[in-house]
Amino acid sequence: MARPPVLPGPRPEWLKIRVPAPEVVAEVEALIREQKLVTVCEEARCPNLHECWGVHRTATFMLMGDICTRHCGFCNVGKGRPGALDSQEPQRVAEAVARLGLRFAVVTSVNRDDLPDGGSAHFAKTIQWIRTLSPHSGIEVLIPDFRGNEAALLAVLEARPEVLNHNVETVPHLYRRVRPDANYEQSLEVLHRTADWRDRHAPTLRVKSGIMVGLGETPEQVLELMIDWRHNRVDVATIGQYLPPSEHHLPLHRFVEPAEFDMYKQKGLEMGFQRVESAPLVRSSYHAGDGYGGPKAPVAE
């Protein structure tokens, strides 16, 4: 069992979680177990699990198992050699979306660098199944970088999600420590290619990315990253507080004050983002469906 993380002082009031609607949480959990699904809500120990399951009756489904081929120091998902893909998983995810009656579904995955396409075809099949069983539901996919494979990215885009999300996770200065198997420029290229495809084929698609703060970055570095996002035509940004899952994960450098999160939101809107979710408990899929159908943000000069 993982030991609790060592935090820089007691958790502030703005980071304390209230647990609503336990009976609905139990209902959603039972459905997830019945369908033999994995959720990032549980695997990443998301602080918003009870709100999303208990109030909004939603969950972020995690495809392709619970073992990741990468070794990010912030993540609680297991690392190692994944098993074979479950060909029935896309249909089961779609059945869960239909039974929950979701207006908006979020689907992510572990990294599967062991697969030639990184699992992109599995993403596409899941989108197609959700379209079949819940034709009025919006869909966000939170994808890995597919090791820069443009054809893999195209396979997901051609399945026509409403939102394509790829998190850069942190500022470039911290990449070697936080995301040792990833590359900041490659992640920006995923976002840039998505925006290019969006502009040619699907103008209502939203391009989204997110980061955690509290890992040792400065506010200036966060603002520079947000400029990079806008130069690559990202529409929606999420910024939330990093909370280490255990003492074996990257240490927390500081609790970021709510006023700093408010500053990032204000600056982001001034830069031209369509939407900026910036608050201590924000996670990349938190309230993901809010405003996804709004107008596309203009490109920053």
> The tokens of 23 are what?
């009976």
Report whether pLDDT(290) > 90: no
pLDDT at 298: 39
pTM, full prediction = 0.83
Q: How far apart are CA 294 and CA 274, in angstroms?
A: 8
Domains of the chain: 19-278 (3.20.20.70)
Helix (H, G, I), strand (E, B) or coil at 105: strand
Q: How far apart are CA 47 and CA 18, in angstroms?
A: 10
Helix (H, G, I), strand (E, B) or coil at 27: helix
124-147 pLDDT, tens digit each = 999 999 999 999 999 999 999 999
- Binned at pLDDT 50, 70 and 90, residue 16 comes out as low
pLDDT at 299: 41
Kindly report which listed range (167-181, 238-252, 257-271) carries the lowest average pLDDT score: 238-252
Angle in degrees, 0-180, between the axes of helices 219-231 and 258-271, rounded to the nearest 10: 30
112-127 pLDDT, tens digit each = 999 999 999 999 999 9
SS3 content of the chain, % helix, strand, coil (to 5): 40, 15, 50
Name residue 62's amino acid: M
Q: What is the mean pLDDT of the chain?
A: 85
- Binned at pLDDT 50, 70 and 90, residue 293 comes out as very low
Which runs of consecutive H residues, i.e. helices, occur in the chain?
22-34, 40-43, 49-54, 89-100, 120-133, 150-157, 175-178, 184-201, 219-231, 258-271
